[in-house]
A and B are shown apart, each in its own frame.
Chain A
Amino acid sequence: MTKSPLAITKFRIIFIICWLVMMGDNAMVLNFFGLPLKAAIIDSAICNTLLLLVCLLVMNTLRYYLPRGQQYINVFSLCLFLTIAWLLLVNLLLKLALGKYEGYNELLHHSLSIRFSISFLLLGCVTMISILWYNQLEQKEKDERKTDAEKLAKEAELFKLRQQLQPHFLFNSLNSINALIGSRPDEARKMVQQLSDFLRGTIKKEDTQWVSLQEELQYLQLYLDIEKVRFGNRLSTEIEIDEGLESLKLPALLLQPIVENAIKFGLYDTTGDTVIRLYASKEENNLVIRVLNPFDPETSSPRQGTGFGLKSVQRRLYLLFARTDLLTTDAKQNIFTTIVKIPQIG
């Protein structure tokens, strides 16, 4: 339920102060025009208390019924009607309470139009402020809902991006294990272990979770060990980390698809031995990771340098940082470099 502005103590105090000021002011004016102080105070109290009640009524009504578009005319009519009703009531009550004072009825009669104008103006202001207040609350709620929906969609998308990378790798690994069981059962057992650890890693980690570079590299090592069994001695890796970077953070499972892409690119597109190099450094406030793989410019150009792997990394970085410049690639001679920058937050 939308909250009335008076639910907030600060606004409630301001509201009451305004009411007291109005009352005092009103009494002083009446006193100035020759009404005895006591009568002026009674008059002012009756007038303003009733006006206060009308204001509260309007504020509460708007809480449940917020005008849209053409309906503002209804609100205007309501204010007008309430002011008139208020005036009639005030007129009646004041005559009963203060009619005995000499010349009071005449003063009252003359002041009715002024009382009406001021009250109408005040009530209008209160109405406008209330409408603005409730509108803004409603907008805020709408925004929150929208953000929630976007967040859900984002998580679903991240999950999907991650899943798409798995099947080819998984089935080929199982096939390698199948081959090892006959000839080298010990190695088969070891690979089952590595594959399980790798899969457990992908399942338990949330996409929004951040891990240290050290953790991510351990996970990457599992992946590389499996790939090395699959491709035999054709694949080797070099990993170089500048000192003191082990504790820098990055989104979990970010490096594996990049390295996977490098391996595919390097290994699938060149027929000789392949060395995949990974360098990590810190530049300004970014963790910068470079993954280098050899490629054959003759046969690789049709693929335009990126595959599904990098596109999904790019998308993920965008969803996490709202930036598109964090992943870049560079092809020089026979070396393809993928550079990813991870801003260090906090």
Chain B
Amino acid sequence: MSKVIIIDDEPLARSIVKEFLQKHPQLEMVQECNDGFDGLKAIQQHQPDLVFLDIQMPKITGFEMLELIDQPPAVIFTTAFDEFAIRAFEAHAIDYLLKPFNQERFDKAIAKWNEQRSANAEKTQDLLESASLSPAQSQRIVVKNGSKIKIIPVHDVFYLEAADDYVKIHTPEGYFLKNKTMNHFEQALDGQQFVRSHRSYIVNVQQITRIDPYEKDNHVAILRSGAKVPVSRSGYGKLKEVLGL
């Protein structure tokens, strides 16, 4: 018996998945959720074998929800129309269901999942990396703070700091940790607003009040909050370019 969770904000969209699932008695639906917050809780609680996940949902998208899970489950994505997501699926050879779909197409997706259960989770991990580069997601960062989910608008971010396998996101409410690399954020965030000032730092240029020299060849950026962010020689060049100095 495999456990299944359905996450979609439209009741009818969930009901058609349930209907098609009836042909697969080995799959048991343990919960249905109508947004990513509920979905996250349900996944942590049930540790499902398969999740049917809509992308565009209340509060956080399906992608953002998955990012908050350390070990993402196997996922079959369902979406109506999202060019960006579809490109991402194609790029990672991930199966997805385009709404509306029929039983035959649904069965195929289940068969594929059955064949390559372990590969599915792996591919999902790769997918998330590229999905978070989407234009919509470059405007905010979703983090988990204990059991709470926090959505940080990028313009609220002071700076990012590398911390082992994590990145510390410094905001007016303190810092949050996200399991991503500095290179990822450098790519995902708008280069006109966020500059990699140092190997271990990315700074929000709108927060900088001044840049002081610091030891030889190095500088330090002073932020409005009073925080000091190291600026390397190459980082100084990048900052000057963005600030038009």
Contact = CB atoms under 8 A, between A and B. Distances in A.
B140 interface: yes
B153 A175 contact: no
Contacts of B174: none
Contacts of A167: 80-81
B92 interface: no
A74 interface: no
* Contact count band on A: 20 to 34
B59 interface: yes
Nearest to A303: B139
A296 interface: yes
Contacts of A229: 12
A178 B16 CA distance: 7
Interface string B5-22: 000011111011001000
Contact of A270 (B19, B58, B139): B58
Contacts of B98: 171
Given A167-B81, A232-B11, A302-B153, A175 B59 contact: no
A167 B34 CA distance: 22
Contacts of A172: 10, 13, 80-81, 99
Interface residues of B, number: 31
Nearest to B136: A303
A180 B12 contact: yes
A261 to B, nearest CB: 14
A218 interface: no
A314 B19 CA distance: 42
A346 B9 CA distance: 45
Contacts of B82: 168
- Pick from B16, B60, B152 the residue with the most CB of A within 10 Å: B16
Contacts of B59: 268-271, 296, 299
A248 B38 CA distance: 45
- Pick from B9, B34, B60, B101 the residue with the most CB of A within 10 Å: B9
- Pick from A183, A271, A296 the residue with the most CB of B within 10 Å: A271
B139 A230 contact: no
B230 to A, nearest CB: 28
Interface in B130-153: 139-140, 151-153
Interface of A: 167-168, 170-172, 174-180, 182-183, 229-232, 267-271, 296, 298-299, 301-303
